Structure 1
Amino acid sequence: MKIKILQQSLSLLFATLLPKLVFFLLNVFLARYLSVQNYGQYALVRSTINMLDNSISSSMYPLVIKEVSSSSQEEKQKVVSNVFFIILIFFLIVCFFLYLNASKISLYLIGEVNPDIIIVSIFLLFFTILNGYLTSILVSYEKLKIITRISLISASLTCILIFLIWTIGGDVSITIGLSILLFFAFIDSISKFLYLFRMKALMVFKSFCIWFDISFVARFVLASIPMILASFVNAWVFWFIRKLESVTEGGFEIVAYFDVSFQYILISMLFLNSLSTIILSKMSSLSSVNKNNKYPSGNYLFIAFSFSFAISIVSIIIIHMFSTYLMQLFGTGYDAEHLDLLSFVLIFYGFALIFNRMCVSLGKNWILLIVSLISGIGMIFYYTKNRELNQLAIFDSFIAYYLVSCLVFIFFAIYYYYRGDNEKALRNI
């Protein structure tokens, strides 16, 4: 069982890592061609897109994996079609607002009127959300090799595009960087859509009227609301801290330092996220087989916590050994001190992520909202109190967020243990 989970985690990691490697190369390319301030502006715009995307991807997609993994073949079609409808409505509302206020939003984010950035961002947001949704369906069907193959094709084509732009030369701008991201998201999402449509797992357009179920939509939305709010709070807090930093003297430079350091931390986070995703799928499948046992298997949780801790420690050691060389890839002006400090977040992030997936499996989604609110308040409080005293306050506050998240999750675990509701589940860990 341990070997299979590790193999599936590695497969999903490889599929996720391919596009991130492309984005990493893109960031290196942009960091070398743009000034530190312009790169900071690009990082803030990208962070804004991620904030909107994470409001969906971090909330609905775990539920999609849970629902599809534990449903019959007929029920799978209902889940796929109705969730697509929900995501489409969300996207249309958000994009309508962004389009009407393109000039104002660009002025607010980067201090200049550039509506082209917002227009490209709208399309990027759509295909990013669609890509995440299609990936969650493929994970539910355990089509991990297909995800890897498609990601390999999309990543290769995007690398070719970056090489052509680098060879031809010319002005490199924020819009060019966002357009390259859009190119990858478009190729990747369309390829996954066509594959799912061919295997008749995605019958959204062909049989939407047959599969539309208002009761399922209502139940799914109600179950998603705590997770959507939790994900939005989470994404908004990280974006808000960057925005607060950007308006200080030299703020865009600090945002650039943080973003460059985060690129390396993200690689380990992807492994931890792949592990937790596989664990969630396994626990959901287990609960569908044994309806009398609503608790996740203690073996799966023990494996997840063990692997998570090991991955975090190994990543921290590697980062500290090679941080100076890693930061030099982005050019001069990027200090290894920032990366060394930020690496410690991995321990708390891994544990918090597993607690998060366990709450989803147990159906206690409201806990995620409470954790996000408390952690977000703690992060903002710490940052506002220390940003004038400590130039690295944005790095410390990021670590503080996940430390507080772990402590709150542990509090709820102890609370349920002594209350007796989840005594069986917790004792199995």
Structure 2
Amino acid sequence: MFLTNIFAARFLGRDLFGQYTMVRSTISLASNFITGALGLTATKHVAEGEYKDPQNFLIKILAVFSINFIFNFIFSLILILFSDQIINSFFLGELTLKNALFVGALLLFTSTNAYLAQSILVGLERFKIIAIINLVVSILFFPIILILIKYGKVIGTLSGVTLYFLFDLIFKVYFLKTKILSQFYTINKESFLAHLKKLSSFSLPLVLSLFFSSGSFWYSKVFILNRSNRFAEIAIFDAAYQWLTIIMLITGATTSVALPMLSKAVGQKNKFELTKIFNINLIINIIISATIALIIIIFSPYIMRLYGESFVEGSDILSILAITSIFFSISSILNKYMISHNKVWHVLFSSFIGMLTLFYVLFLMQAKLAFGLSIAFLSYYLMTTLTYTTLIVIKK
């Protein structure tokens, strides 16, 4: 997906790339509500359930997918029925993006289900299988995506990404069904409904938390888009943001591994193991993110030139987002620590404080457009890190 965005920027140009990233951000807004809450829920409960509650293991998985389907249906319906209003209110009235939103509804379904299947595999600690499937699908579909980008423009790019997630989903569900779920046969209706209610209750604070974080990120981009009155400004920010995403993926891989391990340690009431896992993951994430951030800052002008000469002016934005990645990494591992302890309302509170900080800084820096937006993102993760740390210290 990272290389896809570089080629998309070069083939589409700043304006069309900005249109693509805004549609993608809108889909990601809905996707983050679903995958962020249900993905973490699935990882935690599957990690605990395989050992503590094997009888209800399959029921938990089906309950998570059922909740996912409901959310998908609601968000897809909103995208389709209110596409004109969304475009006129948030996308400068660019009606050519209407069909792009329809493709986005399909992308939402494939990406959220693929991520959910991956979250279950993470909970089961099948990391090798995840890596193999991701590699195979990437190699197979990268050439197809490039062709669709070149000839299909914005809709072609979205269609290519949708196909990627569709086959990623097929491979992961096939593995789950044949290698794992085939061991479990009994499904009790009462037990299924009970787990559905339990998982929904656990996910609610996480959904609200993601409403504050993802919602504020999305709206802040819409705010800058409408203030600048051009997609090109957002294109520069999103090109730089891709490199923050790379660090997020790298450190996110380690924090995703940490969640099932932390959850097991909490379930076993093994305080020594819990502290060891937390400290190791925290140190590793800080070292990785700081090292990559330093490299990105040094080479920021050359990195932005990969997207085209018109993107070079975004090197300062890239440097700010590289620094942001350090606080994201710390905040992420603190987030997993809270979730493993069932402190999901603490997660909600931290996101709320981060959102208020983001909007305050964005209001002060709005004249700086994309650069001000990068400072606002930095302030969000800095504040959530401080809030999580304060809550953990108070708890102790």
Same fold, TM-score > 0.5, yes or no: yes
Matched, 1:404 2:383: yes
Structure 1 residue aligned with 2:95, among 82, 98, 113? 113
Q: Is the 8 A contact 1:150 1:188 kept in 2?
A: yes
Q: The residue matched to 1:330 in structure 2 has which SS? A: coil
From the superposition, tell whether residues 230 and 414 of structure 1 become closer, same or farther in structure 2 (CA, over 3 Å): same
Instruction: Give the equivalent residue in structure 1 for 2:13.
Output: 35
From the superposition, tell whether residues 201 and 177 of structure 1 become closer, same or farther in structure 2 (CA, over 3 Å): same
Q: CA deviation at 1:34?
A: 2.0
Structure 1: state its 5+ residue gaps: 1-22, 418-429
Q: How do 1:167-186 and structure 2 match up within 5 A?
A: 170=151, 172-186=152-166
Q: How do 1:301-316 and structure 2 match up within 5 A?
A: 301-316=278-293
Instruction: Give the equivalent residue in structure 2 for 1:4.
Output: none
Q: Distance in 1 between matches of 2:6 and 2:337?
A: 36
Instruction: Give the equivalent residue in structure 2 for 1:45.
Output: 23
From the superposition, tell whether residues 94 and 162 of structure 1 become closer, same or farther in structure 2 (CA, over 3 Å): closer
Per the normalisation by structure 2, the TM-score is 0.92
Identity within the alignment, %: 25
Q: Distance in 1 between matches of 2:107 and 2:220?
A: 23
Instruction: Give the equivalent residue in structure 2 for 1:339.
Output: 318
Structure 1 residue aligned with 2:109, among 111, 114, 126? 126
Q: Distance in 2 between matches of 1:173 and 1:211?
A: 49
Q: Distance in 1 between matches of 2:29 and 2:370?
A: 24
| Deviations 1:364-416, CA, capped at 9 Å, x for gaps | 10011111111101101110122125661101000000011111112212221
Q: CA deviation at 1:112?
A: 2.2
Matched, 1:93 2:87: no
Q: Is the 8 A contact 2:212 2:355 kept in 1?
A: yes
From the superposition, tell whether residues 320 and 202 of structure 1 become closer, same or farther in structure 2 (CA, over 3 Å): farther
Q: Distance in 2 between matches of 1:250 and 1:101?
A: 22
Q: Is the 8 A contact 1:276 1:353 kept in 2?
A: yes
Q: Is the 8 A contact 1:44 1:109 kept in 2?
A: no
Q: Which amino acid aligns with 1:89?
A: I
Instruction: Give the equivalent residue in structure 1 for 2:176.
Output: 196
Q: Which amino acid aligns with 2:377?
A: F
Structure 2: state its 5+ residue gaps: none
Q: The residue matched to 1:185 in structure 2 has which SS? A: helix
Q: Distance in 1 between matches of 2:182 and 2:108?
A: 21
Instruction: Give the equivalent residue in structure 1 for 2:134.
Output: 151
Q: Distance in 1 between matches of 2:66 and 2:154?
A: 32
Q: Is the 8 A contact 1:245 1:252 kept in 2?
A: no
Q: Distance in 2 between matches of 1:235 and 1:190?
A: 27
Matched, 1:245 2:224: yes
Q: Which amino acid aligns with 2:178?
A: R
Q: Distance in 2 between matches of 1:266 and 1:34?
A: 20
Q: Which amino acid aligns with 2:85?
A: K
Identify the range of structure 1 (369-378 vs 30-39) with the bigger mean alpha-carbon deviation. 30-39
Per the normalisation by structure 1, the TM-score is 0.86
| Deviations 1:166-201, CA, capped at 9 Å, x for gaps | 7xx54x421111111101011100111111111242
| Deviations 1:138-165, CA, capped at 9 Å, x for gaps | 1122221111121122111221213444
Identify the range of structure 1 (268-277 vs 125-134) with the bigger mean alpha-carbon deviation. 268-277
Q: CA deviation at 1:102?
A: 2.5
Q: Which amino acid aligns with 2:115?
A: G
Q: How many residues get paired? A: 389
Q: Distance in 1 between matches of 2:347 and 2:309?
A: 40
Q: Which amino acid aligns with 1:299?
A: K
Q: Is the 8 A contact 1:81 1:212 kept in 2?
A: no
From the superposition, tell whether residues 52 and 183 of structure 1 become closer, same or farther in structure 2 (CA, over 3 Å): same
Identify the range of structure 1 (325-334 vs 209-218) with the bigger mean alpha-carbon deviation. 209-218
Q: How do 1:256-295 and structure 2 match up within 5 A?
A: 256-288=235-267, 290=268, 292-293=269-270
Q: CA deviation at 1:353?
A: 0.6
Structure 2 residue aligned with 1:299, among 252, 269, 276? 276
Higher helix share: 2
Q: Distance in 1 between matches of 2:39 and 2:328?
A: 19
Q: Which amino acid aligns with 1:326?
A: I
Q: Is the 8 A contact 1:296 1:358 kept in 2?
A: no
